Amino acid sequence: MPDLFAASRETEGLSDGAFLFPGFAEGQARALLAAVEGIAAAAPFRHLVTPGGHTMSVAMTNCGEAGWVSDRRGYRYDGLDPETGKPWPKMPETFFTVSARAAQTAGYENFVPDVCLINRYVPGAKLHLHIDRDEHRFDAPIVSVSLGLSAVFMWGGLERTDKPARYRVHHGDVVVFGGPSRRRYHGVSPLKPGTHPATGACRLNLTFRKALP
Ligand code: MD3
Ligand code: FE
């Protein structure tokens, strides 16, 4: 396993089928953030409630053909935003180009996501170890773009009890998870306070998915 807080910012193979590309989307960061603003104006960030009744510390919204939502009934992809009753905003062209380029760099050709889940972290916000299992397509990778404040990404195994490795992810970093790594546990440690020139006091994460059958 590579050194977690390695000073080096080289492309890393995290595990089978997973890759970290430091700074890969830095050149597109401003365009991506501008697009997120437009999306959030139509589909506001909200704190979803888990089936267990907990309100998530991460605020979320989506764009694309469907969006990931959670409520007391469960987790699912929904074609309509339950908050507005309307379809989710369209996936912007820059989202397609950046995610496809990252997927291709990792060896996944012709990646065309149908959903982008957008997570917003403020200091203290975190994501417990989980597996993304609500998507229909496990053959496609998931592409993650980090923007703004840095975070510690927990990278576990196929069992919940596998001790996670930790990686610091920074503004513009892209991670691609496919193959056997697609079913790994992962999460995000509580965000540390700070300010970033591009986002202010928060971190944004875009995850591009093939969720629909
Ligand atoms: C590994 N988001 O939204 S992205 C999520 O930073 C999520 O907001 C985190 O986990 C975030 O579900 C981490 C990295 C990620 C996303 C999906 C994965 C890692 C993954 C799916 C399979 C394996
Ligand atoms: Fe996840």
What are 104-147's pLDDT values in tens digits? 999 999 999 999 999 999 999 999 999 999 999 999 999 999 99
Q: Which ligand 1 atom is the nearest neighbour of the CA of 60?
A: 3
What average pLDDT does the segment 153-163 reach?
Answer: 94
Which residue, judged by its Cα, is nearest atom 6 of ligand 1? 205
Which residue, judged by its Cα, is nearest atom 15 of ligand 1? 144
Nearest to 105 by CA among 204, 18, 207: 18
- Pairing type for strands 174-177 and 115-121 reads unpaired
Q: Per residue in 75-97, pLDDT tens?
A: 999 999 999 999 999 999 999 99
Residues near 82 by beta carbon (within 8 Å), at least 6 away in sequence? 69, 71
How many other β-carbons are positioned within 10 Å of the β-carbon of residue 16? Answer: 11
Measure 202 CA to ligand 1 centroid, in angstroms: 17
Q: Which ligand 1 atom is the nearest neighbour of the CA of 155?
A: 1
Measure 196 CA to ligand 2 centroid, in angstroms: 23
Residue 11 confidence class, pLDDT cut points 50, 70, 90: low
Task: Yes or no: say if 168 and 203 are a contact pair by the CB < 8 Å rule.
Answer: no
Strand residues in 52-164 grouped as ranges (E): 59-64, 67-71, 74-78, 115-121, 127-130, 142-148, 151-155
Task: Yes or no: say if 45 and 59 are a contact pair by the CB < 8 Å rule.
Answer: yes
pLDDT at 5 over 80: no
Taking the C-alpha atoms of residue 147 and residue 149, their distance in angstroms, rounded to an integer, is: 7
Q: Which ligand 1 atom is the nearest neighbour of the CA of 117?
A: 3
Taking the C-alpha atoms of residue 53 and residue 73, their distance in angstroms, rounded to an integer, is: 10
Q: Per residue in 167-196, pLDDT tens?
A: 999 999 999 999 999 999 999 999 999 999
Q: Per residue in 39-66, pLDDT tens?
A: 999 999 999 999 999 999 999 999 999 9
How confident is the model at residue 16, as a pLDDT? 86
Where helices occur in the chain by DSSP H, the ranges are: 29-42, 93-105
- Domain 12-209 is in which class? mainly beta
Nearest to 116 by CA among 40, 14, 178: 40
Structure tokens, 65: 């053909």
- pTM, whole model, 2 decimals? 0.94
